[in-house]
Structure 1
């Protein structure tokens, strides 16, 4: 389990760019380099994460860890990938915005956003070649990207995933072999999820940390896709308990640090708990991630069996194509549109692509290149 933790811990320090970029980092590491999963198995995990509430990319990492080492492997993967962002968000919560607002910090983060463009583009190209192999699948991919770009909303995304699943089901291979085992969900995580949703609110007055747990657990239960979608929910939860400027500072910090956007909960939990800020940060962090992981465990143990059913396999083929379309849309908005602001930025992306695909340099080398490019731009400006 230590080996799983170490690999994800290393990724946690360099995974800039949000959920779509994380999916790219995971694919490059665990499909191409380490070959823990096939492209098809990986795409199924990505598709599953899109249908469940919770932090999408963190759920994919959790599922990869589960695939490799069971529940302890899943927990190791989560801790490894999330710990760097949690530590950084704690540090930024303590020093507040004293460093975040500096021009040098902005330039470095801008350089790392350009790295995210390269990583996501690489992931899209690899997944497109694997899952868009017929005219129907290419059509589903492009239609999904177009629809999300024109009508960007979570409702649109869920409707598209349902529609592409239906089309994949209708166009499935009728001769697909049925699995030898019967699918049975894991009920205990579901029972625990329902219990944590209902019971703790009854004891809000017992401890000041219980309301924090309840609020962030409910937020994690209602967010599909993760990432920036969790921000308005957390903003509603915080309400008047936190100054707007402090919330915006936390949001900026969550975008700047590597790892999951859900680490914003660490910052907010620290600020909301005056009596024990470190405990508040820990409780908020666990609470916001926990619902998505519990729901994932309901089906994850038998997911391979479920995915072998002809109807499910057909639906997944359509969803896999749609996921590529979702990544294409995410590549433009918010990744490309918020990162590429000048011809120099585009030139740096092309150099990064050359370093990654032609010279095949490791991610750490690319991180160093884009940090240096940010520092150079700061010095020149």
Structure 2
């Protein structure tokens, strides 16, 4: 890739991350707006000429009837508009899950700053939220599975049945994305063939990666505030990254061992 294209995609990625860090708490519409902006930039400033854009072949699958797909997609748009209109974060602990599910695009970790900002400390303890992140990272599957852990905790706090808490939080976070997939799948083959979309895709991807940048700062800042052993916490973070990324030690083992180290330090005080 040419140096100029690297600069363009880097600017989209890190510019997206910088904006998310500056605008805090971020409104629900900010994430998709930044992703669309990234795509618009690479449409106007293509990172690959038309001759190098790959032709997308048909998948051989047509999905549901077009009219039904359009109805599902319109339902998604309608619910998204409702969540913005109702100023959802002032309406209890359920609506943040729905809003995050509607508007958080770009990877599972992107959902963590939004949920942490609007659930802690009013609805759930930051310490419990951080524990939920640890459990979600230890388990197979997407980070969105944290909704089940948080659903139990929030249900207990509200006097609900814990199964109801799991169902409501999981549905709020997962079903919007599933709905969008069904609504867009029927027209996916045609969309992939469009030059406009193919030029937008690098910018869309770069912005989506940029949304992950604030996660590190928001989550780590919360950890620092709650940790009774801040210097040790920083050291464990560095060692954990080394073990997981370079030594390929499995995540559950690292979490359990380092949790035991922290527990032993607490007992020694």
- Is 1:316 aligned to 2:201, yes or no? yes
Question: How many matched pairs?
Answer: 221
- Is 1:296 aligned to 2:181, yes or no? yes
Which residue pairs with 2:39 in the alignment?
A: 165
CA–CA distance in structure 2, aligned partners of residues 354 and 219 of structure 1: 34
CA 1:166–1:369: 2 relative to 1, 3 Å: same
Q: Following TM superposition, by how much is the alpha carbon of 1:312 offset from its aligned partner in structure 2, in angstroms?
A: 1.4
CA 1:329–1:174: 2 relative to 1, 3 Å: same
Q: Following TM superposition, by how much is the alpha carbon of 1:167 offset from its aligned partner in structure 2, in angstroms?
A: 0.6
* Residue 19 (structure 2) aligned to one of 138, 147, 161: 147
Which residue pairs with 2:128 in the alignment?
A: 253
SS class of match (2:56)? coil
Do the aligned residues in 1 keep the contact of 2:116 with 2:129 (CA within 8 Å)?
no
Do the aligned residues in 2 keep the contact of 1:230 with 1:262 (CA within 8 Å)?
no
Q: TM-score, normalised by structure 2?
A: 0.63
* Residue 265 (structure 1) aligned to one of 151, 156, 160: 151
SS class of match (1:361)? coil
In the TM superposition, 1:340-379 aligns within 5 A as: 340=224, 342-379=230-267
CA distances 1:239-263 after superposition (whole Å, capped 9, x unpaired): xxxxx97x335x7534422234433
CA–CA distance in structure 1, aligned partners of residues 220 and 115 of structure 2: 21
Do the aligned residues in 1 keep the contact of 2:154 with 2:165 (CA within 8 Å)?
yes
CA–CA distance in structure 2, aligned partners of residues 162 and 185 of structure 1: 26
CA 1:279–1:359: 2 relative to 1, 3 Å: closer
Q: TM-score, normalised by structure 1?
A: 0.47
Q: Following TM superposition, by how much is the alpha carbon of 1:299 offset from its aligned partner in structure 2, in angstroms?
A: 2.3
CA–CA distance in structure 2, aligned partners of residues 359 and 327 of structure 1: 23
CA 1:331–1:217: 2 relative to 1, 3 Å: closer
CA–CA distance in structure 2, aligned partners of residues 362 and 329 of structure 1: 25
Which residue pairs with 2:89 in the alignment?
A: none
Q: Following TM superposition, by how much is the alpha carbon of 1:353 offset from its aligned partner in structure 2, in angstroms?
A: 2.6
Unaligned runs of 5+ in 1: 1-128, 199-214, 236-243
* Residue 339 (structure 1) aligned to one of 213, 223, 227: 223
Which residue pairs with 2:85 in the alignment?
A: none
Unaligned runs of 5+ in 2: 80-91, 105-110, 137-143
CA–CA distance in structure 1, aligned partners of residues 237 and 163 of structure 2: 41
RMSD (CA atoms):
4.0
In the TM superposition, 1:31-50 aligns within 5 A as: none
Q: Following TM superposition, by how much is the alpha carbon of 1:308 offset from its aligned partner in structure 2, in angstroms?
A: 4.8
Bigger drift between 224-233 and 357-366 goes to 224-233
CA–CA distance in structure 2, aligned partners of residues 331 and 230 of structure 1: 14
